[in-house]
Each structure stands twice: as C-alpha cells, then as structure tokens.
Structure 1
Amino acid sequence: MTSGARLSGAAAMAARAAEPLLRRVRPDVGPALAGRIGGAEALAAWGRRREPGPLVWLHGASAGELLGAAPAIRALRARGADDSGRRAHLLVTHASPSGRAALPWLEADHAGFPPLDLRRDCDAALAALRPGLIVFAKLDVWPGLVAAAARAGVPAALINGTVRDGSRRSGRVVRRLFRASYAGLAAVGAASPEDARRLVALGVRASCLGVTGDAACDLALERADRARADGSVDRFRAVLGESGAGRLRLVAGSTWPADERALLDGVAAARRAGGPDWQLVIAPHEPTAAHVAELIAACEARGERAARWSRLGEGAGVPDGAVVVFDQVGRLAELYAAGDVAWVGGGLGGTGLHNVLEPAAAGLPVLFGPRHDRADARALEEAGGGLRCPGGALGGTLAGLADPSAREHHGRAARTFVEARAGAATRTADLLAPLWPV
C-alpha cells in the first residue's frame, strides 16, 4: 500500500469515528460523510444487480468538476456504443451532495457517494462493480481507490487536470506522500501546459500525460447555445422583463455574503451616478432557505425590495427596482444567457472564485473579485473578456459598462476566449480510448 493510501485511510478511519459529532456540529459536512460511510455497501449493492456489460466509473468532488467532465465522458461512451446504440454503463460518484446537479448532463446509470478511502471499502466496491475504467475529474484523486484499482487491474485516469498555483498538494511533504498515487494513473489529461508541468511534479508519468484542455469549455458553449435555442432565455426574460438601453441586467452567480454586500453597494452607487437602471439578479452558491431569507432581509434593511425567484410567475413581472434572489440550482448557465453583464462570486473572500467560463460562453463581460488563484480567470482577463473588480469599485465598473460598445467589446472577447479552447472533449476521449473497456 502506498504512503498516500495509508494516510488517506487513517483520515477516513478518524472521520468515521467522528461522524456522530460532525453530524451535530457541522450539518454542512455530516450528510456527505454519512453517505461515504455507507458508500461501499450502496455501490456494491448496485453492482451486484446491474446488467452485464462494460462500466466506466467517474468521480468528481462536486457539480463543477463533474459538469466539466460530462462532454468528454459522453464522447467516450459514444465510441463504445454497440450496433443497437447502447453505450457502456456509467457510474458517477461525488464527494459533495451538490454533485447531484450535474447528473442530468451525464446520463448516469447510477450515482451516489464514493466509499471511504479504506482498503476494505474500496476493494469491496470494485469487486462488486467490476468497472473497466475509473476516471477522476479535475484533481479529486483518492489514493486508496487508485491503489485498489491497481490491485484489481483496473486502469485509473485523470481528466481536465488542474493544479492551482499554491495548491496544498504541491508542498514538498505532500508530494512525497502522494507521489506513488499520481504515478499509478494510466492516463492524465491536463487543462494547460502549466497544469501539465505541475502534474509531473506531483508524480504523474510524462509518458501518460497529454495537454487536452478543459472540457468545461465545451459544456459552457453547449449550455449557452442550447439556452438560446430551446427557449430558456426567453422564459427567463418573460419573468425578469426585457433589458435594453434604459435597463440593464447584472446576473451574479455563485455568490457568497462578501459578494452580495459588494453587489448591493455597487448597484446602488451605479444608480446614484445616473445612466441606465440596473436590475440585480443574485444566485447564491448555497441557496439554502436560511441564506435566502438572510439575503432578502439584508436587501430590505437597505430599503431595497427583493423578490424570490421561486415565487415569481411568468407575466407577474418583477417589481421595479427589486433585487431578484435566484433560489434554484442547476440553471445558472442558462440564467447568465439572459443577462447583460455577469458577476462571478468567490473572489472577494476565502471561498475561491467559481466558474467564469459559463458567463463568458454566454458572451457577457465577466466581473469578479481580485482574490483568486484561477488561471482561466487570469487568462480571460488578459483576453479582454474578464474584468477584475475590487468590491468597492463595482459601481464605477458598471458605469463604464453602461456604454453598449464597451459591453459588446468585452462580451465578444469573452465568447471568443471560450471558443478558442473548445474541442477538449474529443482530445480527452482520444487520450482515454486506449484504456476503453469495450
């Protein structure tokens, strides 16, 4: 067993012992941990009753990682379809409950939590599932599962591989502990040449590595184009109202409290400065009932009206000047396409900047805070499609984007940026094809 697998297994044992306490004091962590504790048994039960045939097991931390993997996995499964069009089975596991939001784009045969990273649990799951290939998305590689796959003779791969600058996995001690786990991967698709360099430093064998790009670009384009083609944008606008020269719409996605405070201040400042009226639509990263209620109360405390999306109906309209709190999940990419400007949350605090590709694919100027480590956001900014914006400067930035030519310039640059990076799904499928179990 590798050192990384031993360490990960010890952490899993400690987490199992602490589960009753965590369930009480960390309700955000408890359900996922409980799911993992029962993960091996649940996966084995499905594996024993599934129909015979090849199986691909895809794992990602949460919805973002799984969504980015979806185009490549669809392309790979299409190559293995038989004469009747039936594809290999797909199992999807996710470490966070939010991963369920990605399932409609993956067409999985089964989904759930992965097993704890213990030798016993991983071996039991693999014995019952009998997968032909395990694919990790982004960087959520579990040493115990990689070691179990090696014992079972199952190749493991990593796609859309990304190692952020300053990642804890890049530290000297952590690299030594987990080097054998990364060396055990049979194929790795890196999102960029810089990611490829960092992955080699982690232990990935150069002979197994290719720079495929990030298939999240393919999905972002697909979702933006489908939203316009299938009427989703029209349905959003039917509720939110039209926007134009005198009324512009700022769609803020995956926000946290620091973002929301800056947004309310910035829109208020832009309104005081004159120019077009700004309709603010806020889609929190965690639209729990408690957070939505707190956000609405914060709006009302400022003298702002607020409307909850789930209580609006087509034709009812949004009260003039009201902030719209979008309290649904899984539709943010489509919502962006109904906006004029986008704000992506997570860049004003320690939570981490979220997906900038979705609003860029929709052809919107993409605003975000300065505190982030995302290479794609830096590249988007350099291309002219992204605008780094400290919270206190948002009002001035919006005033500048009141100019139609400025919005068109930044929006076109954002869309071009994503289009130039499309095609990763096909390149990733090419990388995985030699491991294909069919």
Structure 2
Amino acid sequence: MNAGARLTEAAAGVALAAAPLLRRARPDIARAVEARRRGVAELAAWGRGRESGPLVWLHGASAGELLGAAPAIRGLRGSPSGSRAGGRAQLLVTHGSPSGRAALAWLDPDYAGPPPLDRARDCDAALAAVRPGLLVFAKLDVWPGLVAAAARAGVPAALINGTVRDGSRRSGALARRLFRASYARLDAVGAASPEDAARLEALGVRPGALTVTGDAAFDLALERADRARADGSAARFRARLGAAGGAAPRLVAGSTWPADERALLDAAAAVRPGGGPGWQLVIAPHEPTAAHVDALVASCTARGERVIRWSEIGDAAAGPDVSVIVFDEVGRLAELYAAGDVAYVGGGLGGTGLHNVLEPAAAGLPVVFGPRHDRADARALASAGGGLVSPAGALADTLAGLARPPRRRRHARAARAFVEAGAGAAARTADLLRPLWP
C-alpha cells in the first residue's frame, strides 16, 4: 500500500472512531462519513442485481465536476456497442457531496450514490461487486485507496478534465510525496490545459499517459445555453421576469454569497438615476435555503427595493416596478442566464471561491466577477474581453459602463466566442477513454 493510500485509510479510521463527536460538532461531516460507510453495501447490493455488460464508474467531488464530465461520458456511452465488447454501456456515478445529485439528469446513470470509504477492504469489495470495465475520476478528486484497489482488480483508471490550480495544496512537496504513486497508476489522463498537464506530471502522472484534451465543461456550457434557447425555456423565464421599468437592463447574479449580494445592492442603488428605474437584479444565491432567502428579502426591503421571490411570481410576470427578484430555485441557472443582459458570478469577493463563469459566457452575456479567485478559465475569459473583474468598490462603475448597449454587446460577443473556442474537449476525451474499455 502506497503512502497516499495509507493516509486515507488512516483518515477513514479516525473519522469512524470520531463519529459520536462529529455528530455533535460537525453533523454535516458526520452525515458524509456515514453515507460513505454505507456506500460499499449499497454498491454491492446494486452490483449483485445489475444486468451484464460493460460498465464505467465515474467519480466526482460535486455537481460541477460531474457536469463537466457529462459530455465526454455521454459520448463514450453513445459510441457503437458502448465498448469493444459490445452490449449496453452502463454508468455508475459516485459523488462526495450531496450537490452531485444536481448533475445526474445530464448523466442518466444506472446507479448513483456516495463512494465507499477510501480504505482497502471497502474499495476492494465495491469493485468486486460492481465489476466496472473502467474507473474515471473527474477534475482532480483522485482517491488513492480506490486507485490502488482498481490496480489490484485489473480495472484501468483515468482522470478527465484534469485541473491543478496554481498554488493548489496538492502541489506542495509533502502532498507530491504522498500521492505520487497514485497519480503514476492512472492509465490515461486528459488535462484541461498545457499548464495543467505540466502540474499533473509534477504530481506523478506518467508522460505517456498524459494528453491535453481541454475541458469538456466548455461543451456542456454551450449545450445548456443553446438548449435553453431552443426549447423555449429562456423565453419563458424572460416573460416571467417581466419588463423592468424604462426597459432597464437585467443583471442575473448566479451562485452568490452574502458579500456578493451586499456589493450588488450597493452598486445598483448607486447607479440608479435620481432614485428612478435602473438595473433589475435577479439574485440566485448559491445556497437558497429558507433562512438565506428570508434574510436577503428582508435586506432588500430595508433598502427600499421592490423585491419579490421567483416562487411568488407563478405563471404571471413580475411587475415593472420590481427592482430585485430573488431566485429561490436550484438547478436552473442556464435558463436564467439566457434570460439576462449581464451576468455576475458569485464567490470572487471572498467565501469558498469563484463559481462557474462558462455558463453565463456561453449564454452570450458579459460576465462580471470579483478578483479573489484562482480560476484559470476566469482569467482567460477576462483576457478575451468577455469577463470584467470588479472588486466591490468598483462595481457601481462597472454597472454604469455596462448600462450602455454597445459596450454590453461587445463584451457579450467576446464571451460567447471564448466558450466556442474552447469546445471540442468532449470528443477528444471520449477518444482518450475508448481504448481503455474492455
């Protein structure tokens, strides 16, 4: 057992032993540990009853990683006979976070649930039960114990959309020593960029297994944006959002945190001419819990905004005097962005990190975001002219500039062109994986 696998095995043991304490201090972590403890039995039960045929096991940390993998996995499953052995290609999906469930509609798996704990006996049992022909990790969530178990079982393992952010903790000297053997065991790795490929090789990926495929998240972003327009959902969203007074432009703010919401409300008030109509804000919190939505609505009301929740609009349209719409639904950002004029993506003013900038760019919107992030795609989008980096104090000036339609159109064209230029990774990634099928 290599050093990385020994570390995760020990960590799993500590987490199980500390379960009573975790249930009191960190119930979210306790629930995740318990879900993974049960994961091996649930996988085994499904594996015993599954129909025969080729199977790919896809693992991702959360919805974002799984969504980015979806186009390539669908392309692989859609190839003739699914695999070289023929028969229907089945898909098993595991995800470390409950948010991963939001990606399942785009993957259509035969089974989905939490992965087993990353210790030898659990991983060996899960692989023996489900008998996959291929194990695929999305982005960077590579688990040493599962990789080692796949090697023992003779199951090829791959990493797709491989990304290592500059300054990642995995790039440190200690992490490289711990996980080098795990990365070296991967049979194929598709890197999102040449820079990512260099970092992955430094982590231990063998040069012969490494290919720069690009990031299939670009393909998915285009697909979702185009589908929202083609199936009429973008038009329906636009109709429900209504026409703001004086034909004010609409800013759709996705995946926001409280710091983003405060900055947006301050900026919108600052650029509102004489207290009259200005920007219409549609704010979609990253975590639209009842408590968060209630607090956001109360804050808007205290500021004198005319605010309504999306769920209160129903089949009617928001009135022309509504200045803020709080979007209290999940999983519909593609349609929402397609109904906007400008996008703001949350997380760049602090918090857990900047969220997905490709989705609004694919919808053909100028994309505004804060400066505190480590996303290479966001930096590249800004360099291409489709993204605008704005700290909280400069957000009012950014909105004032984007209130002019010619400037909006210029940034919008650049944003869409940036995503189109990055497309094609799904087919390249499917081609990378296809030779590994049994």
Q: TM-score, normalised by structure 1?
A: 0.96
Contact 1:364-1:414 at 8 Å conserved across structures:
yes
Contact 1:135-1:157 at 8 Å conserved across structures:
yes
What is residue 223 of structure 2 aligned with on the other side? 222
Contact 2:364-2:415 at 8 Å conserved across structures:
yes
Residue 393 of structure 1, CA deviation? 1.1
Residue 81 of structure 1, CA deviation? 2.8
Equivalent residues in 2 for 1:391-406, closer than 5 Å: 391-406=392-407
What is residue 205 of structure 1 aligned with on the other side? 206
Could you report, residue by residue, the CA deviation over 1:30-49 in whole angstroms, capped at 9, with x for unpaired residues? 33222112111111111111
Distance in 2 separating the partners of 1:303 and 1:17 = 52
> What amino acid does structure 1 have at the position aligned with 2:301?
E
Could you report, residue by residue, the CA deviation over 1:94-132 in whole angstroms, capped at 9, with x for unpaired residues? 000000000000011110000110111111100100000
- SS at structure 1 position matched to 2:78: helix
Contact 2:366-2:408 at 8 Å conserved across structures:
yes
- SS at structure 1 position matched to 2:18: helix
> What amino acid does structure 1 have at the position aligned with 2:232?
G
Distance in 1 separating the partners of 2:294 and 2:417 = 38
> What amino acid does structure 1 have at the position aligned with 2:103?
A
What is residue 49 of structure 2 aligned with on the other side? 49
Contact 2:245-2:321 at 8 Å conserved across structures:
no
Q: TM-score, normalised by structure 2?
A: 0.96
> What amino acid does structure 1 have at the position aligned with 2:66?
L
Residue 381 of structure 1, CA deviation? 0.4
1:319–1:35: structure 2 CA closer, same or farther, 3 Å change rule? farther
What is residue 70 of structure 1 aligned with on the other side? 70
> What amino acid does structure 2 have at the position aligned with 1:357?
L
Distance in 2 separating the partners of 1:102 and 1:409 = 32
What is residue 298 of structure 1 aligned with on the other side? 299
1:216–1:293: structure 2 CA closer, same or farther, 3 Å change rule? same
What is residue 151 of structure 1 aligned with on the other side? 152
What is residue 18 of structure 1 aligned with on the other side? 18
- SS at structure 2 position matched to 1:269: helix
Equivalent residues in 2 for 1:267-282, closer than 5 Å: 267-272=268-273, 277-282=278-283
Could you report, residue by residue, the CA deviation over 1:119-153 in whole angstroms, capped at 9, with x for unpaired residues? 11111100100000010000000000000000000
Distance in 1 separating the partners of 2:434 and 2:27 = 41
> What amino acid does structure 1 have at the position aligned with 2:365?
L
What is residue 81 of structure 1 aligned with on the other side? 81
What is residue 34 of structure 2 aligned with on the other side? 34
Contact 1:239-1:318 at 8 Å conserved across structures:
no
Which shifted more, 13-22 or 380-389? 13-22
Residue 275 of structure 1, CA deviation? 8.8
Which shifted more, 408-417 or 234-243? 234-243
> What amino acid does structure 1 have at the position aligned with 2:371?
P
What is residue 193 of structure 2 aligned with on the other side? 192
Contact 1:275-1:399 at 8 Å conserved across structures:
no
Contact 2:366-2:386 at 8 Å conserved across structures:
yes
Which shifted more, 18-27 or 136-145? 18-27
> What amino acid does structure 1 have at the position aligned with 2:389?
R
> What amino acid does structure 2 have at the position aligned with 1:54?
P
Residue 333 of structure 1, CA deviation? 1.5
Residue 20 of structure 1, CA deviation? 3.2
What are structure 1's unaligned runs of at least 5 residues? none
Residue 245 of structure 1, CA deviation? 7.1
What is residue 328 of structure 2 aligned with on the other side? 327
1:28–1:310: structure 2 CA closer, same or farther, 3 Å change rule? farther
- SS at structure 2 position matched to 1:277: coil
1:275–1:107: structure 2 CA closer, same or farther, 3 Å change rule? same
What is residue 344 of structure 2 aligned with on the other side? 343
Residue 244 of structure 1, CA deviation? 9.5
Contact 2:254-2:285 at 8 Å conserved across structures:
yes
1:33–1:323: structure 2 CA closer, same or farther, 3 Å change rule? farther
1:275–1:303: structure 2 CA closer, same or farther, 3 Å change rule? closer
> What amino acid does structure 1 have at the position aligned with 2:11?
A
Residue 316 of structure 1, CA deviation? 4.3
What is residue 428 of structure 2 aligned with on the other side? 427
Contact 1:292-1:325 at 8 Å conserved across structures:
yes
1:243–1:186: structure 2 CA closer, same or farther, 3 Å change rule? farther
Distance in 1 separating the partners of 2:263 and 2:27 = 28
Matched residues, number: 436
Residue 395 of structure 1, CA deviation? 1.0
Could you report, residue by residue, the CA deviation over 1:141-177 in whole angstroms, capped at 9, with x for unpaired residues? 0000000000000011000000001000000011000
Distance in 1 separating the partners of 2:77 and 2:266 = 48
Contact 1:55-1:133 at 8 Å conserved across structures:
yes
1:80–1:149: structure 2 CA closer, same or farther, 3 Å change rule? farther
Contact 1:341-1:366 at 8 Å conserved across structures:
yes
Contact 2:93-2:109 at 8 Å conserved across structures:
yes
Contact 1:236-1:335 at 8 Å conserved across structures:
yes
Contact 2:192-2:214 at 8 Å conserved across structures:
yes
Which shifted more, 245-254 or 157-166? 245-254
What is residue 251 of structure 1 aligned with on the other side? 252
Distance in 2 separating the partners of 1:232 and 1:19 = 45
Distance in 1 separating the partners of 2:65 and 2:324 = 30
- SS at structure 2 position matched to 1:251: strand
- SS at structure 1 position matched to 2:269: helix
1:402–1:47: structure 2 CA closer, same or farther, 3 Å change rule? same
> What amino acid does structure 1 have at the position aligned with 2:35?
G
Contact 2:69-2:138 at 8 Å conserved across structures:
yes
Residue 287 of structure 1, CA deviation? 1.1
Residue 311 of structure 1, CA deviation? 2.2
